[in-house]
Each structure stands twice: as C-alpha cells, then as structure tokens.
Amino acid sequence: MADYAVVDPATGETIKEYPTISDEQLDAAIGRAHAAHDGWSRSSTVAERAALIRKVAELHTERRQQLGEIISREMGKPIGQATGEVDFSAAIYEYYADNAESLLADEKIDLLEGEGSAFIRRSSLGVLLGIMPWNYPYYQVARFAGPNLVIGNTILLKHAPQCPESAEAIEQIYHDAGFPADAYINIYATNDQIATTIADPRVQAVSLTGSGRAGAAVAEIAGRNLKKVVLELGGSDPFLVLGTDDLDAVVESAVGGRLENGGQACNAAKRFIVVDELYESFLEKFTTALTAVEPGDPKVEGTTLGPLSSAGATDRLEDQVKRATDQGATLVAGGGRDGNFFKTTVLTGITPDNDAYKEEFFGPVASVYKVGSEDEAITLANDTPYGLGSYVFTNDSEQALRVADKIEAGMVFINAVGAEGVELPFGGVKGSGFGRELGRFGADEFVNKKLIRVAG
C-alpha cells in the first residue's frame, strides 16, 4: 500500500491511494515557496492577506459537509464532530482575519535613556514547514497556517499519511480563496524527506503536532540547523475532583472530557483524580455513564463514539490495556474491541510501577485514582512526563486558583471541559512540548520581532 492512503477505519477498506512526492518535486516545491515569499510578504498588505484568510473561512463553511465526510472516512471521526471541527477551523481563520492588523501593529517601547523613539515591527521569517497529525485534520492546519499566512510567511504542509484527501481539500481551498499558488503547498513526503526539508536553508522554521518521539526527532534536526521549532506533543491530562455540589454534572463533564474525538485528543481528560470522600460515588456514576456510550457508525448523525483511527492505533490501545492489567491494574469495565471499534474502558489500581502510570491512553480508556487530600491530588497530577492541559473541579473558588497555580501544565480549566476558544493560547510544558498556538500568542511564534530605534 502507498505511504499516503485513505483507509476507512470503520470498514478497513482502502478507498484511495496517493503518490509520495519525488525528491526532485520536493526540492522544486521548497524553491517555489521560497521564491514566493518576497512577493507575498512585501507586495501584499496585512489587510489584503487578512481578506484572503477570511475567504478561506467562508469556503470552510460552504464546504462543511463535504469536508466533514472526508475526515469521517479518513480517521473515523463521527460526522457531527467532523463538521464541528470544520466550523471551529473557520472560526480560527475568522479570528485572524478580524485581528490581523492589531496583532501585527508596531509595538512602542518606552525609552529609559536618550531621546527619540523605539518600537518593534513584526515581519515574516520565510518558508515554514508544518507537520500535522491525523486526529484533527482541519483544526491543526488552521491554527498553524492561518496566522502565519497573515504574517506573510509561506507554508509547506506535510499532513499525516492517513489524511491525504483532507490535505488535498485544504490546499484546494487556499487556491480557490485566491492565494498565490506557491504561498501554500501541500507535500506528500516521507519522514526522510521531511528531515531533508527541515535542514534545507530555504526553510526557516518548523511546527509539529504529534508524538514525543516525533517531536524529539524534529527538534534534533532543527537544532542542528538553528531552526525555530514549535512542538505540541502528547498529554495525559489530569481531571481533579476536589469538591462539588452536583456530582452528576461533574460526571457528565468527565465523560465528555474523556470521549472527545473518541478519546484521541492530546488534551483530553485521561487521569481522573478524586478525593476519597467522593471517590466511590464518582467511580460508580462515571463507569455507568462512560460505558453507556457504545461505539457506532461514524457516518450516522448522532454517533458519539466511532472507531479508533486505524488498526495500528487499536492494536496499541489494546496492548496498553492488557499490559496495565497484567501489571496489577483493575479492569472495572470495558476493554474489548470489535475491529477498530473499542469499548469504553475504566481502569483503577494503577500504581507507579505500572507502565500505564506514565503512559498516554489515546482512546476511550479512563484511569481513576483515589487521593486523600488536595496536596496528594496535586502531587499525583504532576507526576507525569506530560504537561499539556488539566481540569480542576471544585466548589471552592479559592481552592480552584490555589490548585491551578500548582499544576504543571500549559493550560488549566476550572469547572469546565470543552472551553477552548480561538482566542485562547494552546500549548504545554515538560514532555508536551513548547510554544503556543491560537490567539495572539499563535501569531507571535514565527515572526521577526525587529527593533527599530530612531535617534532624537
């Protein structure tokens, strides 16, 4: 089978294969993006680039059903969530269209000595390489390409091998919106070709969303070649239950936080850490609610949980659950599979010597822990290689902020799941990477913040 192919995880059917780019074609693509940069960044204004990004948003909205159906068959996302992802992507483009000029406006610096003035002027860097994952095929591209095209950078986009059709559809949208042909170029490249691309002196920086292993490989090559990198890697986000007046509402949030995108989200709630006085009630209610969600056909409206993204992903999750129980964890419910459809699963009794204690479960598997105090909950929440997001549920507002200050993560959501927004920065610390996307911070990673000092 070709490196790039659409394989429906619900049926196992290979729908279409796409040829990998040749080395000569890749070199030409890098050259075209490099040559396009000067004209794109200097011959167009911020307002003109913002108008084109707005058109990209409009085309996403116009084509939402078609786009949703593509990723439903590429990676098994339920159609309602798929079209929702298209809508969120359109909102990201709209945000950068609306705010482009203010985000790129000159920033005055107050001088401590001397006369005259000083300011920072933001400008583009050049060709950027984006390496995208399969779990959010449109959203991931939007949050990378949207702000950086407004800035005036040009884009080489390498999508996941199982998402070639959505990659093609996105590139077509950019062309139909009126972007110069070489401002955004989709490349079906191999990992070896990507290593060569990162090292190419015409490429100025790289953004990757993916695994820690991929992030380390990309960062190593980029570091050797002095390239700026933004990495958004995995997560094993804690969900702390410290106090509540409405446990049913907390459980509803916990189920939603665990099952977003079939549990295949870097920032999904994965480890549920519950104070002892609420533990038994939470575990009972949570297990009942989670296991009530059955996998179904992702192409049918109303389906909440589709298949996992691929046979490989399902095999990995099945192996993780088996290793966890072999090493002493208790399988409270679930654990089975039917093809790539994986039953919602609850594990307890995971101890620090269990592999599962440090691993990320990328699928509908929840681990539940009991703690005796707030401090114990914080210690457990932070005892992970990851540091992407986190969730704190409590009816004590002072406790909420106190705990939020101590959580080692890039994001803390208090009494809420699904509260991300286009204006809110997204990113992590520790093994979850570095750099930020979305909001004003997402438009400030790949820019030359040039100081201009004018004498009095």
pLDDT in tens, 120-161: 999 999 999 999 999 999 999 999 999 999 999 999 999 999
Same-domain status, 82 and 105: yes
pLDDT over 80 (residue 334): yes
Question: DSSP secondary-structure letter at 106?
Answer: -
Beta strands at 228-232 and 433-434: parallel, antiparallel or unpaired: antiparallel
Q: Cα(114)–Cα(359) distance, rounded to whole angstroms?
A: 55
Beta strands at 345-348 and 330-333: parallel, antiparallel or unpaired: antiparallel
Of residues 122, 142, 139, the one with CA closest to residue 184: 142
Element (H, E) at 80: helix 79-103
Any idea what the CATH number is for the domain that residue 194 is in?
3.40.605.10
Same-domain status, 208 and 312: no
Q: What mean pLDDT is predicted for residues 253-262?
A: 96
Q: Cα(178)–Cα(79) distance, rounded to whole angstroms?
A: 29
Whole-number pLDDT of residue 1: 64
Q: Is residue 425 part of a domain?
A: no
Q: Is residue 31 part of a domain?
A: yes
Whole-number pLDDT of residue 2: 79
CB-side exposure of 391: number of CA atoms within 13 Å?
29
Same-domain status, 320 and 186: no
pLDDT over 80 (residue 319): yes
> CA dihedral in degrees (281, 282, 285, 290; nearest 10)?
-160
Q: Is residue 427 part of a domain?
A: no
Q: How many domains is the chain partitioned into structurally?
A: 2
What is the per-residue pLDDT across 32-89, written as a single tens digit (0 to 9) for each?
999 999 999 999 999 999 999 999 999 999 999 999 999 999 999 999 999 999 999 9
Q: Is residue 49 part of a domain?
A: yes
Q: Cα(136)–Cα(261) distance, rounded to whole angstroms?
A: 9
Q: Is residue 182 part of a domain?
A: yes
Q: Is residue 362 part of a domain?
A: yes
Structure tokens belonging to residue 335: 């654990």
Structure tokens belonging to residue 162: 């199982």
pLDDT above 70 covers what percent of the chain? 100
Same-domain status, 377 and 284: yes
Distance, CA of 204 to chain centre: 22
Q: Is residue 330 part of a domain?
A: yes
What does the buried/exposed string (b/e) look like for 34-43 if buried means 16 or more CB atoms within 10 Å of the residue's CB?
bebbeebbee
Same-domain status, 226 and 245: no
CA distances from 63 to 74, 165, 328, 385 (A): 17, 14, 49, 39
Q: Cα(371)–Cα(348) distance, rounded to whole angstroms?
A: 12
Backbone angles phi, psi at 447, to 5 degrees: -135, 155
Contact between residue 238 and residue 390 where contact means Cβ atoms under 8 Å apart: yes
Any idea what the CATH number is for the domain that residue 357 is in?
3.40.309.10
The residue type found at 144 is F
Contact between residue 243 and residue 347 where contact means Cβ atoms under 8 Å apart: no
**Of 94, 232, 360, 445, which residue is the catalytic one?**
232
What is the per-residue pLDDT across 172-221, written as a single tens digit (0 to 9) for each?
999 999 999 999 999 999 999 999 999 999 999 999 999 999 999 999 99
Q: Does the annotation count 163 as an active-site position?
A: no
Element (H, E) at 97: helix 79-103
Same-domain status, 413 and 442: no
Range of the domain at 413: 237-420
Full DSSP string of 94-137: HHHHHHHHHHTS-EEE--SSSSEEEEEEEE--SEEEEE--SSST
**Of 94, 266, 359, 445, which residue is the catalytic one?**
266
Same-domain status, 314 and 350: yes
Same-domain status, 145 and 267: no
Q: Is residue 181 part of a domain?
A: yes
Same-domain status, 104 and 179: yes
Same-domain status, 178 and 305: no
Of residues 366, 395, 372, 374, the one with CA closest to residue 249: 395
Same-domain status, 219 and 281: no
The set of residues, in sequence order, having a beta carbon less than 8 Å from that of 397 and lying 6+ positions away, is: none
Same-domain status, 261 and 220: no
Q: Does the annotation count 232 as an active-site position?
A: yes
